[in-house]
Amino acid sequence: MTRVLIGIIAIIFGVIMIVYPPFVAYLVGIFLVLYGIITLISKA
């Protein structure tokens, strides 16, 4: 079930990357910021 979900998400992201690349960069930026904050909080 998870593999199907990951596949669907991958397809959606692929389509978004083809149609509107800046949006993907925006999402990646948000993800990196959140990931950084979470790592700092968990280590502190």
Tokens 């509107």 locate to 20
- State how many domains the chain has: 1
Per residue in 17-33, pLDDT (tens digit) is: 899 888 888 888 999 99
**Per-residue DSSP letter, 13:** H
Tokens 């199907």 locate to 4
For residue 20, is it left (φ>0), alpha (ψ between -120 and 50) or beta? beta
**Per-residue DSSP letter, 31:** H
- Residue range of the domain that includes 27: 2-43
Extract the tokens encoding 14. 């692929």
Mean pLDDT of the chain: 89
Tell me how far apart the alpha carbons of residues 39 and 43 are, in angstroms, rounded to a whole number.
6
Residue 4 confidence (pLDDT)? 92
